[in-house]
Amino acid sequence: MSVFDPMSGRQERVSYNDSSSARMLHRGCQSLAGGDSSTMRVLPYHLPLVAKRGLGSRLWDIDDNEYIDLNMAYGPLIFGHCAPDVVAAVTRQISEFGSQLGFPTEITIQAAEKIKQLFPSMELLRFANSGTEACASAIRLARTATRRRKLILFEGHYHGWSEAVFNRYHAPLDALPERGFGPAIPGTIGMSSSLDDVVVCEWNNIETFERCLQENGYDVAGVMMEPIMGNASLLPPREGFLQTVRELTIDHGSMLIFDEVITGLRASSGGAQERYLVTPDITVVSKSIGGGSPVAAFGASEEVMQAVVSGEMFHGGVFSGNATVMAAANAVLTRVIAEKDDLYPQLERTTGILAKGLHDILTRLNVPHQMNQIGSLLGVILTHGDVPQISNYRGIRKHGDFDRYITFQQHMQLEGIYFHPNMFEAMFISAAHTEEDMAIVLGRMEAGAERCLVC
């Protein structure tokens, strides 16, 4: 494995080629396509890391290297690795009641009641196994409720890999339409014509969205977005953007769908809709509600969800609402509800220490950057010089210094601090992270930035 060192201009050899992680990944490639079951975990510029175990804020690889984990499994581990109450709930469910029963269970009802308490817009909901599944069902629900076909999505927003929505959400700038919206570009080879009814629009630009809606308006079943963009770094909505989109969708009789896979339990206990006081028609939640177990949910008002109740719109799944997963979700949600008045200020404070500390380091070293913190989420963008405030995908694609970020991430991984090497990915802080953890992280980041980022 080579790591680019901007100080010397040379590729430095590191021991990762000879590590157990590298050898294990090579072995994995003989049976798993690419060595793993998710491309994001085995990107070509990702230093080999095969995880062995996690505890609290820490992660260990199979070489027994220890890392302070700022990724938290891409966000789900809001209470850290091996949270004791989640482990106890899952263990009890498996050992005393069973992992998969094939019937309705009380634990599923308990978890649903708690989600409804945190997300009042989800008067009725259904569980699914992943954000991809829940997003696909949310779109089907919008089309059922409106009897329309078209869907408006936004550049840089990811809603899973289903045929219904998988567009090229990280398209190059020259592939994006000059007018700010246009037909969706298929996200991969092998897709059907399902994206023919999908229009992709520039986000955080209300004038462009209004033109897009007017042109397609009364054929639009739903407008789907991440209310805080979390799949192209972490970008907040401009003041009034969500509120205006809400008003325009009501005027056009279209469903507003909030994909809160990332922001649910992260932006606040009730997600971005609670933080910004905007109520969507349909909500999708996942990641943090399961504490590391594969779970998602979609929900809406009783009226809209009657299509599912009646069977007019089909939704199923052998593992949807799996008892083991529901035990984990119920434990997470129980703790969130019980502790939220103290939990969220703590998460905000700990994340803020990292955000301010890294900002101060980069500012002192004259490293151009922008940074956004929202709750326990942190987005760090290294830029090519001082640029206007980035507010959408086009901005980060145009101004982001991705190569330098990769160099910085590789160095930090070698120093025992892990965050994802793709700058589009946010950092996730958990309740297990302490102020002492942040002091260690910032000390190593300062040394790393001085070595890797100072020209």
Active site residues: 158, 259, 287
Residues forming beta bridges with residue 81, ordered by sequence position: 56
**The tokens of 430 are what?**
């958990």
Distance CA 153, CA 245 (A): 12
Distance CA 199, CA 164 (A): 12
Strands (E), 196-273: 198-201, 220-225, 255-260
Query: Which bin fits 18, alpha (ψ -120 to 50), beta or left (φ > 0)?
Result: alpha
Taken in order 433, 435, 441, 445, the sign of the CA dihedral is positive
Residues forming beta bridges with residue 229, ordered by sequence position: 235
Helix (H, G, I), strand (E, B) or coil at 155: coil
Q: Rounded to whole angstroms, what are the CA distances from 388 to 29, 326, 384?
A: 43, 45, 11
CA dihedral 308, 152, 202, 240 (to 10 degrees): -60
Nearest to 68 by CA among 57, 77, 60: 57
**The tokens of 340 are what?**
């939220």
**The tokens of 270 are what?**
């009730």
Q: Dihedrals φ, ψ of 318, to 5°?
A: -55, -40
User: Are the C-beta atoms of residues 326 and 111 closer than 8 Å to each other?
Assistant: yes
Helices (H), 253-322: 271-276, 302-310
Helix (H, G, I), strand (E, B) or coil at 377: strand
